[in-house]
Amino acid sequence: MLRPVTPATEKRLRIGQVARQLGVEPYVLRFWEDEFPQLQAARTSKGQRYYTEEHVRLLEKIRHLLYVEKLTIKGARQKLEGSEAVNAPLAEIRRELEEIRLLLTRTP
């Protein structure tokens, strides 16, 4: 989770600026805020979103996971959370393959 923002001490970027920097539309950033609990933009007293450099780094990582690594939203969320749920299916498959290998190598 990101630490609380202190507007007086940190550089603040508006949603349009961040969207241009990342090469996505602003609605994509709003969608990502709904999908990734780690990402919560700070808001002005008028309700406008603003992002810090820490937010931008997290957004860059999300963009990389979704657009470059081609993960699903769920997969990207799990990777960001460092969840073991990402590796659980692989471990199960590995175990089943080992059982099959043992069956095939057994002499009758």
Q: How far apart are CA 59 and CA 68, in angstroms?
A: 13
| Residue 23 lies inside a defined structural domain of this protein | yes
CATH code of the domain containing 29: 1.10.1660.10
68-93 tens-digit pLDDT: 999 999 999 988 887 545 556 777 88
Q: Which domain holds residue 51?
A: 13-105
Q: How far apart are CA 20 and CA 15, in angstroms?
A: 9
Can you give the pTM of this predicted structure? Answer: 0.66
| Residue 73 lies inside a defined structural domain of this protein | yes
Task: Look at the chain and report how many structural domains it folds into.
Answer: 1
CB proximity list for 54: less than 8 A, separation 6 or greater: 2, 3
Give percent of the chain above pLDDT 70.
84
Joined together, the tokens standing for residue 43 give: 């808001």
